[in-house]
Amino acid sequence: MKSSVKNMTEGSPAKHILAFALPMLLGLLFQQFYNMADTMIVGKWLGVKALAAVGSVGSINFMIIGFCTGVCSGFAIPVAQQFGAGDYRALRKYVANSVWISAAFAAVMTVGVCLLCRRILVLMKTPEDIIEGAYSYIFIIFLGIPVTYLYNLLSGIIRSLGDSRSPVIFLLISSVINIALDIISVKYLNFGVAGPAAATVISQAVSGILCLVYIRSRFLILRIEKSEWKPEKKYIFRLFSVGLPMGLQYSITAVGSVILQSSVNTLGSMVVASVTAASKVNMFFCCPFDALGGTMATFAGQNIGAEKPERIKKGAGSATVLGAVYSAAAFAALYYFGRTAALLFLDAGETAVLDRVQQFLFINSMFYFPLSVLLIFRFSVQGMGYSALAVFAGVIEMGARIMISYGLVPVWGFSAVCFANPLSWLSAALFLVGAFFYCIKRKQKEFESERKENTQSL
């Protein structure tokens, strides 16, 4: 069968980025859509308290599941680099070793976080009237960590070879399954918040299995030979050096969110419900920024493998322009329709909650452009292999959220919560712009030095 790989080292950077980002955006929208479906069904059919229960675990969910996602994204970077360099044997060895590492991580993390999740909820000061619902939901989500690794690792490998369309199809299928299971489990089986959690795990397992079948049937360069399955220190070390920092970057960023959520929890379950609904709308509108970031990871990885750092600079410029245009459009949309969007999760009679949602969305959307810069340059830096700098940007985000949680939320309450994300985005974006150009210059010097040595040896 015809291979679906796509080489992004030749041709117009802007066209490659747009062509790759659009399918990826559709995938992210589908993913958010079924996450929103969980929230909509819980909020509409189970009530505000159940909505608050699901929302109260959002930050710890992001910290753990975000680590899984980040690690898998990191594992895909050496694959993209070897594809750009044309070294397919090394590419397959990276894939094989990433499978072994992912399996080990999944086993250890599943046992560890499931044993500790109730204690974590207590430490987060989860309100007593929602803690049981929160535990039921997050425990099941954590039981699904192995399928989270399965899907994210395989979809990352597919995208690293230039195919951003196929994972979208698999997400669409899993989205339909997820929504159907949500409705059945809540409306007909009365499973409460545990139903949507189980639906999420099952649907992601389906998408992961579809990725596996697709890889085996379509990617000839991924036909791993028996000798290539052997774990090798060289490849394991490289995967750890890229994957762990990316996973930690997500988790470090999420630590600030967990601490912020703890502060939000002290403001009561109604405020928790407000932040939950607003965050769902906010995350949906932020999908284009995530798509641009994910695109730049693959684009930068392939072009570094091909020793073309100037193309990465041009690509980042094109992505930034796209991010600026969308930021303005998204701000206008949320300014006029943010409150209406919140009605997907809340009844019109919850006026106090809706007022808070509108305030949160207005303030956050004003800072969408710094968020686009943050994600574009973070993933570009990671694609070039400088994951430590991306981790440091995550530390900056974490620090900003912690300062707001302890310094401003006790004084200004919900208004301070609204500014937590924007100020953390702005702080990290300023650092990453400088880091990006530092990495470009460093790579240019490395490649020039290698070319001179090769010329002299001839």
Tell me the torsion sign for CA atoms 167, 173, 174, 176: positive
Gap between the Cα atoms of 67 and 10, Å rounded: 32
Tell me the CA distances in angstroms from 307 to 5, 284, 303, 311, 448, one per residue in order. 19, 35, 6, 9, 10
* DSSP summary character for residue 127: -
Tokens of 446: 């490395």
Q: Please name which of 192, 268, 232, 283 lies closest in space to residue 95, comparing C-alpha atoms.
A: 232
Per-residue model confidence as pLDDT tens digits over 289-303 = 989 998 998 899 889
* 273 in any annotated domain: yes
User: Of 319-323, 325-329, 396-400, which range is least confident?
Assistant: 396-400
pLDDT at residue 2 is higher than 50: no
Structural domain tally of the chain? 1
Tell me the CA distances in angstroms from 288 to 154, 176, 294, 414, one per residue in order. 22, 21, 10, 27
Gap between the Cα atoms of 94 and 76, Å rounded: 9
* 3 in any annotated domain: no
Residue 169's SS3 state is helix
Gap between the Cα atoms of 441 and 310, Å rounded: 9
Q: Please name which of 194, 209, 250 lies closest in space to residue 61, comparing C-alpha atoms.
A: 250
Specify whether the CB–CB gap between 384 and 312 falls below 8 A.
yes
Residues in the chain: 458
Tokens of 410: 């006790």
Give the gyration radius of the chain's Cα atoms: 22
Tell me the torsion sign for CA atoms 360, 363, 365, 367: negative
- Mean pLDDT for 99-103 is 95
* 2 in any annotated domain: no
Tell me the CA distances in angstroms from 237 to 79, 90, 234, 250, 269, one per residue in order. 14, 14, 5, 20, 45
Predicted confidence at residue 370, as pLDDT, reads 96
Gap between the Cα atoms of 44 and 104, Å rounded: 39
pLDDT at residue 385 is higher than 90: no
Among all chains, which residue has been given the structure tokens 């974590």?
Answer: 120
pLDDT at residue 30 is higher than 80: no
232: left (phi over 0), alpha (psi -120 to 50) or beta: beta
* 4 in any annotated domain: no
* 1 in any annotated domain: no
Gap between the Cα atoms of 352 and 62, Å rounded: 27
Gap between the Cα atoms of 268 and 39, Å rounded: 19
Tokens of 154: 């395989």
pLDDT at residue 457 is higher than 70: no
Residue 425's SS3 state is helix
Gap between the Cα atoms of 272 and 129, Å rounded: 12
Gap between the Cα atoms of 367 and 116, Å rounded: 35
Domain housing 333: 13-453
pLDDT at residue 330 is higher than 80: yes
Residue 166's SS3 state is helix
Per-residue model confidence as pLDDT tens digits over 196-210 = 889 989 999 999 999
Q: How far is CA 355 from the centre of its chain?
A: 28
Gap between the Cα atoms of 167 and 159, Å rounded: 8
Tokens of 36: 């929103």
pLDDT at residue 408 is higher than 70: yes
Q: Please name which of 211, 164, 169 lies closest in space to residue 20, comparing C-alpha atoms.
A: 164
* 117 in any annotated domain: yes
395: left (phi over 0), alpha (psi -120 to 50) or beta: alpha
Predicted confidence at residue 28, as pLDDT, reads 78
Q: Please name which of 341, 405, 78, 92 lies closest in space to residue 220, comparing C-alpha atoms.
A: 92
Specify whether the CB–CB gap between 432 and 290 falls below 8 A.
no
Q: pTM of this prediction?
A: 0.73
Among all chains, which residue has been given the structure tokens 């060289």?
Answer: 234
* 8 in any annotated domain: no
Mean pLDDT of the chain: 87
For residue 5, name the pLDDT band (cuts at 50, 70, 90). low
Gap between the Cα atoms of 401 and 391, Å rounded: 15
* 308 in any annotated domain: yes
Gap between the Cα atoms of 303 and 6, Å rounded: 12
Predicted confidence at residue 256, as pLDDT, reads 74
pLDDT at residue 329 is higher than 80: yes
Percent of the residues in the chain that have a pLDDT greater than 70, as a whole number: 97
Specify whether the CB–CB gap between 419 and 360 falls below 8 A.
no
Number of H helices, E strands in the chain: 17, 0
CA atoms within 13 A of residue 85's CA, in its CB half-sphere: 15
